[in-house]
Amino acid sequence: MAYVYILENKVAGRIKIGATVNHPNDRLLDISRMWRVIKGRCQICLNWRMLVDGRMPDHVQCTGSGELPLEYGTQLAEEQLADLQEQIQSLSYSDLNFATKRIKNLTKILKNYKENPSRLGVWELRASFKTDSAYLAEEYVHLKLENYLDRKAPFGEVFSCPPEKAIAVVENVIAQLENQ
Ligand SMILES: [Zn+2]
């Protein structure tokens, strides 16, 4: 069993829909920390970690340790992107695929962080559903609400549709999966 959860930020007019094996309140705590930049995203490895005095904590084998997270600076990430773009001309085919994906991902993330408006409001748990098909349901729901996807949100699975609509879609998808 796992949960499909819907978090709502009324002020920002956004919802987040995800699936988790943990309690949805754990996800709420985590998302709230990301939103309030208590957790920050490393400019080098792009992982989220609890900040220490506004900087990334030491984390193994990453030169982003001790540096500013993406929320407070993008210089390291931009340097990484420039290096990759320079290297790509001399890479063998097998490395090329990895580097191309990385460049695409970094470009997208940097664009979002630069354009991202201020983070208003707080996140609340709006609804959760316990089901055996949580992860599959999450996938279908994301597809059904694709037109509402907020691509500029600092984390994934954020949508601009009304929570009532999302709840109806989630209930419908779960009912269909459970009746199969
Ligand atoms: Zn890192």
Give kind and range of the element (H or E) at residue 49: strand 48-50
- pLDDT in 10s for each residue of the chain, 180 residues: 999 999 999 999 999 999 999 999 999 999 999 999 999 999 999 999 999 999 999 999 999 999 999 999 999 999 999 999 988 888 777 778 888 999 999 999 998 888 876 789 999 999 999 999 999 999 999 999 999 999 888 899 999 999 999 999 999 999 999 988
The label of the residue with tokens 């069993």 reads 1
Q: What pLDDT does residue 99 have?
A: 86
pLDDT of residue 43: 96
76: number of Cβ within 10 Å: 16
Tell me, in angstroms, the distance from the centre of ligand 1 to residue 127's CA: 33
User: What pLDDT sits at residue 97?
Assistant: 84
pLDDT value at position 95? 78
Distance 56 CA to ligand 1 centre (A): 8
Q: How far is the CA of 63 from the centre of ligand 1 (A)?
A: 6
From ligand 1's centre to the CA of 109, what distance in Å?
15
Give distance in angstroms: CA of 134 to centre of ligand 1: 30
Which of these, 70, 72, 63, lies nearest to 42 by C-alpha position? 70
Both tokens of 161, joined, read 């549709």
Give me the phi and psi of 126, to 5 degrees please. -90, -40
What is the Cα–Cα distance from 169 to 100, expressed in whole angstroms?
Answer: 35
Burial class for 83, CB neighbours closer than 10 Å (0-12, 13-18, 19+): exposed
